[in-house]
Chains A and B, each alone.
Chain A
C-alpha cells in the first residue's frame, strides 16, 4: 500500500492552461508539504499544511494555490501555466510539527509546459 501517492505521474500541457496535482497520504500524518525540483535537481519548499492549516508559504507566485480538504490530502492548483513551471513536484508528509520527524515523499509529478 503506497504511503504517499500523487496523481498524475506525468502532466504535459500548454502555456496558459490551468492544472491540478493531487496528493494523498495514508500514514495518518498531520503535516504535508509541496516541494519543487527544477531541471538541475535542486529542491525547494513551496508550501506546507498542518491539520488543514497553512503553515509555510514560500515566495511562490500567486498562480500556485494549495488546498487541503482534509489532513490526508494536499492538492496543488496552478493557474496560467508558464514554461518556467516545468519541473518535478513532490508531495511529502510527516507526523506533526512538534518534533522533527522524517518526511515521506511521494513519487513525484513531472510537469512539462510547452
Chain B
C-alpha cells in the first residue's frame, strides 16, 4: 500500500538557520503531496501542496518540489524562526482511494533563539 517516510526528529536549529526535512513516498500512480503543520495543542494546517511532478509548493517561506524520479517531496526554508517550532507532517492522497491522507510519522522542529 501507499506509504510516506519522513526523517526522524526532533530537529533542533538556531534561529535563521536553513531547514530541510526529508520526505519520500511509495505509491503507484500519481499521488498529490502535502506538508501539514501542527502547532502545540492545535489541529493540522495545510502548509503547502503539489499535485503533479515538478510542481513546487510554497507558503510562508517554506518550499517543496514534487520529484517523481526520486519519489521525494523535501521541505525547505531558508531562515527559520522560533515561531516555526511545530510538528511537520508529509502526506499523500489519491482520488482513487477517496482522497484519504496517508501521513508520515511527523518531524518535530525546535527552533532556539
Q: Tell me the A residues contacting B by CB distance below 8 Å.
A: 4, 31, 33, 35, 40-45, 48, 50, 55-56, 58, 90, 92, 94, 97-108
Contacts and interface: CB of A to CB of B under 8 A. Distances in A.
B43 A106 contact: yes
What 10 pairs across the A-B complex have the smallest Cβ distances? Answer: A105-B43, A100-B32, A45-B100, A43-B103, A105-B44, A41-B106, A55-B98, A56-B98, A107-B43, A102-B46
A90 B43 contact: yes
Interface string B71-105: 00000000000000001010001110111111101
Most A Cβ at <10 Å: residue of B51, B87, B99: B99
Interface in B23-45: 32, 34, 36, 38, 42-45
Given A90-B43, A100-B51, A105-B43, A45 B105 contact: no
Contacts of A56: 97-98, 100
B110 interface: no
A35 B106 CA distance: 15
A103 B101 CA distance: 9
Contacts of A102: 34, 46, 49
A97 B95 contact: yes
Contact of B101 (A41, A45, A106, A108): A45
Contacts of B98: 48, 50, 55-56, 97
Given A100-B99, A107-B43, 4 more contacts: A41-B106, A56-B97, A102-B46, A103-B46
